[in-house]
Amino acid sequence: MERENQFIGQSGAFLDAVERASRAAPMRRPVLVIGERGTGKELIAERLHRLSDRWEEPLVTMNCAALPETLIEAELFGHEAGAFTGATKMREGRFEEADRGTLFLDELATLSTGAQERLLRAVEYGEVTRIGSSRPIRVDVRIVAATNEDLPRLAEEGRFRPDLLDRLSFEVITLPPLRVREGDIAVLADYFGRRMAAELGWEEWPGFASHVQRQLEEHHWPGNVRELRNVVERAVYRWDDWSEPIGHAQFDPFDSPWKPAGQRPASPRARETDHGAAVPAKAAPPPSFDGVTDLRAAVDAHERAILEHALGRHRWNQRQTAKALGLTYDQLRHAIRRHGLTE
């Protein structure tokens, strides 16, 4: 968990999520943190721990996707000596390590059915049993779990236990993706840029050129804040003249004329031109007939892009979107239907 990171942002969607975490922190109940990769689920988990009355006790982290299925239960609940091949001595599990503190389970949806069943008992009764033992051990652990999956859908499909989902969902904090955090991209880019410039020993921070700022705002950010940090830090360290605004940012670090044949672009929504400009994947050249551009198709594509951006910016609040675009509510609804847009 990267403890040097801070909560940086000013958008309403982001601040709402942070405020909800702050309110839930003093509670002893489980909390689910939902969000796309790179949105800061680990930071929310740490905030829940640090603002609770358990802040002096251990915060134990376990990535459920990082271990093979055969070892997850032993890692969570521990084992006795001789419980299985290779178990030469007794080992406490993560629950015992986190006793009186917080256990953060990342990538929760990857847990096997057996591990889910034993986790349910631990959450419901506050007891764990080491593998190879018949004696339950009492533990006092606050569970915080995170995933980027739709857990209710997985429960309907039989891939996640509904009763475990009920036990863990006392509070659910859903983190907004970076693309809908209005105004936060510029703030975050400036923060990461200044930090990298200081690390490199620059005498001053020149900021970003206007075209780079525009590229940062228009990129889709499938990797969210983690991706933004990588792009910004890479742009700063590759820039040689700290007296001039940074004029180039490479969004896809794998983009190269020598990359292996058949390799797909790293981002499904955007690719980078030779000049570093982010080009949406949907922004294909408009239809052309005998070299003559189809003006109607070009206008429709541009209008659709404006609608998608505005709707995402306002979190699909159609009345706010209509007001921002200078349209009536009915005009916006008509445009949404005409372009076949769905939330």
Question: pLDDT tens across 300-322, in order?
Answer: 888 888 887 777 666 678 888 88
For the ranges 64-68, 125-129, 156-160, 244-248, the lowest mean pLDDT is seen at 64-68
- Split at pLDDT 50, 70, 90, the class of 101 is very high
Whether residue 10 has pLDDT greater than 70: yes
> What would be the CATH architecture of the domain defined by 182-258+267-278?
Orthogonal Bundle (1.10)
pTM across the whole model: 0.72
**CB 175 within 8 Å of CB 44:** yes
For the ranges 1-5, 41-45, 79-83, 97-101, the lowest mean pLDDT is seen at 1-5
Sign for the pseudo-dihedral over CA of 227, 229, 235, 238: negative
- Split at pLDDT 50, 70, 90, the class of 40 is very high
- Split at pLDDT 50, 70, 90, the class of 265 is low
pLDDT value of residue 73: 85
pLDDT value of residue 293: 58
CATH 2.40.50 matches 288-339: no
Q: Kindly list the domain boundaries of the chain, sorted by start residue.
A: 12-82+90-176, 182-258+267-278, 288-339
Whether residue 274 has pLDDT greater than 80: no
Tell which wins on pLDDT, 157 or 259.
157
- E strand spans, the chain: 31-34, 59-63, 102-106, 127-128, 137-138, 142-147, 171-174, 270-272, 278-280, 288-289, 292-293
- Determine the average pLDDT of the residues in 173-201: 96
Whether residue 268 has pLDDT greater than 60: no
**CB 177 within 8 Å of CB 14:** no
**Rounded to whole angstroms, how far apart are CA atoms 234 and 232?**
5
Token look-up 């986190």 returns 98
> Per the structure block, which two tokens stand in for 212?
């780079």
pLDDT value of residue 280: 43
Tell which wins on pLDDT, 66 or 160.
160
Whether residue 276 has pLDDT greater than 60: no
> What would be the CATH architecture of the domain defined by 12-82+90-176?
3-Layer(aba) Sandwich (3.40)
Whether residue 292 has pLDDT greater than 70: no
User: Beta partners for 195?
Assistant: none
CA angle 163, 165, 168 (to 5 degrees): 110
In single-letter form, the type of residue at position 195 comes to: R
**CB 21 within 8 Å of CB 159:** no
Task: Using alpha carbons, list the distances in angstroms from residue 273 to 203, 219, 237, 284.
Answer: 31, 13, 20, 13
